[in-house]
Amino acid sequence: MSGIGLAVDRDALFAIEQMNKAYARCLDDDRLEEWPDFFLDDARYLIQSRENRDAGLYGYILYFENRAMMRDRIKSLRIANYYNLHTDRHLITNVDILGVADGVYDARANYAVIQTDAEGRSDLFSAGEYVDRIVFRNGVPKFRERLVLLDTSNIVGLLAVPL
Amino acid sequence: MPAYTAIDHAAAQSNTGGLVWPAEGWSRVPFELFTSPDIHEREDERLFRGPHWNYLGLEVEVPEPGDYTTCHVGATPVVLVRDEGGALRAFVNRCAHRGAEVVRRPRGNARGFTCIYHNWSYDRAGRVVGVPWEKGRGGVGGYDAAFDKAQHRMRPLRVASWAGVVFGTFSDDALPLEDYLGPAIRERLSAVFARPMTVTGYQRHTIRANWKLLYENSRDFYHAPQLHKFFGAFGIVQPDQAARAEMWHEGTHCLLTIYRSPEARKQRTKLEEPRVAAFRTALPDDIAISIVGIFPNCLFTLIGSAFSIRQFRPKAPDRFEVVYTYFTYADDPECLREHLFQNNQFGPAGYVAMEDAEVVEKLQARIALGAEKGASLVAMDGTDTTPERIDHMVSEANLRAMWKGYARFMGFAPPEPGGSAAGGERSPR
């Protein structure tokens, strides 16, 4: 992949777009146990508000720095936590690669998540940006880091399922 | 359900807000407290703008002259700022001219403040220092000779702090802050804030319920092991650990202390990543968790290295915002590491917090049903209403104490046992 001009690195961009689609479908289909598979073992998954990021503060809503923490999250949602009955619809767009260094792709995407409650009412739950560090393993893109940068920094209700 | 007394609505409105407490006493809490617009407005007047101290911020957020942070006292937007002399000032964020918002950013540093509407400018204490066209322009207009801009300012609050935690009040009748906090809370805050703190972030959270439901929830021993299954599911704490609740300010403050269990040290969690729940003793004591409710607007959660304070901002009878400020010790990098892991438990996505939002939102939707007027039942561990201290977790006495104090501060008449209320229904108008 390296050495290819970004403007023509269509294979990488296509693969990353496909990964984002699969990621959205995995969460929207409630196949949460498969969600950690999009990440490397030592990958970080972070949710942070733009307000905190711009202020140079940590302020992570979720801070996972390995896949074990992601599995713990899903297990807890399945066996321990009570949260709002709902379905999610991830809309991921503007997928782009901003740069690549040493095989690590600096990628971005916009997202919006529409939540629908048990009685069929839909609301925009969250909007923001994915700030991704992606590497290819055997031709398959994997997250080294996915930072969910929330525009919607005021969470309404609660945030249970990963964004 | 015999929850309401038949009353003369108009007469009661004038002195009790139209609410008469159920005759059963403080072990019943009328749902109307969580749904009534009248009570919501009365709380803003009597509690948030009344003789009580409201949390404004932490001193470490405004270390230098000109540093400011914004917050709310009930419905009122307030600015906390450090002035040239190093003193803490607070004022209502509303222009003395037409009432526009003056300070527009949540936090920052400023030499002074200027309203964008007509460019009235203010010093760091919120006093007017500049008025465009004050003396007219081109020989015409301007304010007349009687106008004295020094007589105008954004409304100030009294400010006081304890252990680096800053409070403000609109009232001249509030007790001195030390007396207001009481000895137990003073001691705990002093112990926790004995070392320098650093703010690690903020979190805004909207909950579609009445603010008091979460304030009550925070001292509710009964719900914790029943609702929050995270600890139990992953084998993190012993359910029989020692706990204590200490009340103050007519029962409305609550210092809830859960002690470290000797068995907890030996436990092996079933989490793949145990650091999420590994609470090292950051303090030289045997306390695992302190939850400090300081009426009416704030709640500290002090556990391990993951400290937070929540500021309550009521927006409507059925909606409020919580703004979390997260902080930890500045002099120990390990505390920050731990804080990042442990904080996964708290906030709107937290392992032991998300259920609270879910429960109070769904509860609110049910108690708002007009045809189902009633009261909640708070009768665990008897009907005692005035405990200053409880030494076990199998009790709702600290909730009853809170409601009694709340009713007193709100000016509601106390329940009359055996009075005309027994078996009474709300009278048709």
Q: Which residue in B24, B409, B368, B400 sits closest to B216, CA to CA?
A: B400
B202 in contact with A at a CB cutoff of 8 Å? Answer: yes
Q: What CA–CA distance (Å, rounded) separates B36 from B24?
A: 21
Across the interface, of B201, B205, B272, the residue whose CB is closest to A58 is B201
One DSSP character per residue, B265-283 reads HH-----SSGGGG-----S
Mean pLDDT rounded to a whole number for chain B:
89
B5 pLDDT band (50/70/90 cuts)?
A: very low
> What pLDDT, on the 0 to 100 scale, is given for residue A1?
43
Contact B203 A49 (CB under 8 A): yes
For A71, the enclosing helix (H) or strand (E) is: helix A67-79
Considering only CB atoms, A60 lies closest to which of B273, B343, B353, namely B343
**Which is nearest to B294 in space by CA: B134, B105, B56, B120?**
B56
The reply to whether A78 touches chain B by the CB within 8 Å rule is: no
Residue B423 has what pLDDT? 37
Of residues B385 and B381, more confidently modeled: B381
Residue A102's identity, in one-letter code, is D
pLDDT (0 to 100) of residue B140:
96
pLDDT in tens, B244-291: 999 999 999 999 998 887 766 666 789 999 889 877 767 778 888 899
Q: Provide the number of CB pairs (under 8 Å) joining chain A to chain B.
A: 115
pLDDT over 50 at B4, yes or no: no
Q: Do A156 and B208 touch (CB under 8 A)?
A: yes
Q: Spell out the domains of chain A, with CATH numbers in brackets.
A: 6-150 (3.10.450.50)
Q: Which of A49, A62, A84 sits opposite B358 (nearest CB)?
A: A84
Smallest Cα distance from B123 to chain A, Å: 24
Nearest to B276 among A57, A69, A84 (CB): A69
B133 or B274, greater pLDDT = B133
Instruction: Look at residue A4 in the predicted model and tell me its pLDDT.
Output: 47
- Is the pLDDT at B225 greater than 90? The verdict is no
What's the pLDDT score for residue B418?
A: 65
CB contact under 8 A, A63 and B204: no
The confidence score (pLDDT) of residue B247 equals 95
DSSP string, B364-398: HHHHT-GGG--EEE--TT-S----SEE-SSS--HH
Q: Taking residues B228-257, report their average pLDDT.
A: 87
Per-residue model confidence (pLDDT) at position A9: 86
Q: Does the pLDDT of residue A99 top 50, yes or no? A: yes
pLDDT of amino acid B268: 75
Among A58, A84, A159, the residue with its CB nearest the CB of B349 is A159
Neighbours of B154 (CB within 10 A): 23
pLDDT tier at A133 (50, 70, 90 boundaries)? very high
pLDDT band at B383 (very low <50, low <70, confident <90, very high): confident
**A53 → chain B, closest CA residue:** B201
- pLDDT per residue over B348-382, tens digit each? 999 999 999 999 999 999 998 866 678 999 999 98
pLDDT in tens, B287-318: 888 999 999 999 999 988 889 999 999 999 99
Q: What is the CA radius of gyration of chain A?
A: 16
pLDDT digits (tens, 9 = 90+) for B15-45: 556 788 999 999 999 999 999 999 999 999 9
Between positions 91 and 150 of A, the ones with CB within 8 A of B are none
The dihedral built from the CA positions of residue B259, B279, B353 and B79, taken in this order, carries a sign that is positive
A135 pLDDT band, cuts 50/70/90, is very high
pLDDT digits (tens, 9 = 90+) for B201-219: 999 999 999 999 999 999 9
Residues with Cβ within 8 Å of residue B394, at least 6 apart in sequence: B221, B222, B380, B381
Closest Cα in chain A to B225: A80
Q: pTM for the full model?
A: 0.92
The alpha carbon of A115 is separated from its chain's Cα centroid by a whole number of angstroms, namely 16
| pLDDT at residue B3 is higher than 60 | no
Q: A162 or B419: whose pLDDT is higher?
A: A162
Of A98-112, B113-127, B408-422, the poorest mean pLDDT is in: B408-422
Per-residue confidence (pLDDT) for residue B20, from 0 to 100: 82
Does position A8 have pLDDT exceeding 70, yes or no? no
pLDDT at residue B238 in the model: 59
Radius of gyration of chain B from its Cα atoms, rounded to whole angstroms: 24
Q: What is the mean pLDDT of residues B333-345?
A: 92
B227 neighbourhood in chain A, CB within 8 Å:
82
Q: What is the DSSP string of B130-157?
A: E-TTTT-BTTB----TT--GGG-BPPB-
Give the pairing type, strands A140-150 and A39-49.
parallel
- Residues B57-110: tens digit of each pLDDT: 999 999 999 999 999 999 999 999 999 999 999 999 999 999 999 999 999 999
Per-residue pLDDT for A21 more than 70?
yes
User: What is the average pLDDT value for chain A, to the nearest integer?
Assistant: 95
A2 pLDDT above the threshold of 50: no
Give percent above pLDDT 70 in chain B: 90
Closest CA–CA distance from residue B357 to any residue of chain A (Å): 6
B271 CB within 8 Å of a chain A CB: yes
Q: What is the pLDDT of residues A27-83, one digit of tens each?
A: 999 999 999 999 999 999 999 999 999 999 999 999 999 999 999 999 999 999 999
CB contact under 8 A, B202 and A72: no
pLDDT of B267 reads 66
Please list every residue in chain B whose beta carbon sits closer than 8 Å to the beta carbon of residue A48: 201
Backbone angles phi, psi at B40, to 5 degrees: -55, -45
Domain architecture of chain B: domains with CATH? 54-160 (2.102.10.10), 181-409 (3.90.380.10)
A148 contact residues in B (CB cutoff 8 A) = none
